[in-house]
Amino acid sequence: MSVALGMTRPPLVRTIPVHDPEDLVARLPQAPPYAWIHQGDGLVAWGEAARATVPPGAGRFDWARRWLARVFAGTRVEDDVLVPGSGPVAFGSFTFDPASAGSVLVVPRIVLGRRDGRAWLTTVGDPPIDLMAPPESPGGVLYADGSRTAPEWEHAVARAVGEIRSGRLEKVVLARDLVATTERDIDVRLLLDRLARAYPECYTFSCDGLVGATPELLVRHTGQAIESLVLAGTTARGATPAEDKERGQALFDSPKNRHEHVCAVASVRDALAPLCAELTVPDEPELLTLPNVQHLASRVHGRLSDGASVLDVVAAMHPTAAVGGTPTAVALDVIRRLEGMDRGRYAGPVGWIDARGDGEWGIALRSAEITGPTARLFAGCGIMRDSDPAAELAEAQAKFRVMRQALEG
């Protein structure tokens, strides 16, 4: 980090307690933001003390862990708070496909944290004074097809169903993209505010232009304890409470969705078992109800056996069956052949890690890549042998609604 900052001695990273900011997003200046917010708690950050573009390849998580170890070791730390997320912190997002370029790690200059009634501020070196100004609306929004039109994507789904029925694989997740263009540049702070307010039970995130509100917690690492929220199996919300309840029950009773969920839970269990001294996996899923959709959800808890960091756990888990498929290698081959696009960081791990190895990482779902006045939106669906292309397209449209509402207000 001292090289990145141009300093001759290790920079001072100082964390102090502060008064409760209440609204984390409202404290962000105009600088490009980093964020991880859940039910009002979390971290927001800005500025860059150190940055790395992670080389693609199978060893990218190991590379990232080694880079972070060097960066964190090259600091002087004064931490008066000593909680997960205090002291030096890095935000990161990784591409879905290990062969794709674009994974990034950033150690921000300023981090504001809030959790369980406590708040803190971390600074690296002498932070700059940043301009505070309210975010401006991006204006009107125009949408256009991304890599595939809707009929083309339905055809890809039909081909995937054919490959599943042939016995090559059990499940594959196919994604599609949508391109939005606004009248003015998009202020990410406005998206974060709208997402955090509309989806407080999701994890609202921002990292280097990737913004979203994911319902899926890949892993939370606190000391030796880890937690993962597995989602697979989806239905739209009903128009009335009675229809909503009926849809939820139909989802819970659906053999197709239950089997999809079993595949996702099994992939998480198999990834975590070698790392854990204890692992608890529920026998039955619960129903997670969000403003736009309902999911089958399973909360997995464990205790690590060897002191692995959160990035070690992320490396073991990604890609889960919830975003790739089963078996993984075959599903990745099908995705590369049928999707017709590079997902970039969509459906890849996104989150933060501190110098103790604690952190929270989600799967970058319900998200968009923001560049000036352009947003590239993503949505994906789990394809099984009984999947109907039209129904899968409707599910993808429901998932697009999250970012469309954030853009449109």
Catalytic residues: 171, 216
DSSP string, 315-340: HHHPSPTTTSEESHHHHHHHHHHHS-
Place of tokens 């069956």: 321
Two tokens at 394?
Answer: 């409707």
Which of these, 311, 295, 301, 246, lies nearest to 276 by C-alpha position?
Answer: 301
CA distances from 352 to 84, 86, 129, 381 (A): 10, 11, 24, 26
Which of these, 294, 290, 298, lies nearest to 249 by C-alpha position?
Answer: 294
For residue 7, give the 3-state DSSP assignment. coil
Inter-residue contact 384 to 170 (CB < 8 Å)? yes
Phi then psi for residue 253, to 5 deg, are: -90, -5
CA distances from 82 to 17, 20, 27, 69, 89 (A): 10, 17, 22, 18, 12
Cα–Cα distance for residue pair 374/97, rounded to 1 Å: 23
Cα–Cα distance for residue pair 36/354, rounded to 1 Å: 13
Q: Three-state secondary structure along 39-87?
A: CCEEEEEECCCEEEECCCCCCHHHHHHHHHHHHHHCCEEEECCCCCCCC
How many Cα neighbours within 13 Å face the side chain of 373? 12
Cα–Cα distance for residue pair 15/124, rounded to 1 Å: 9
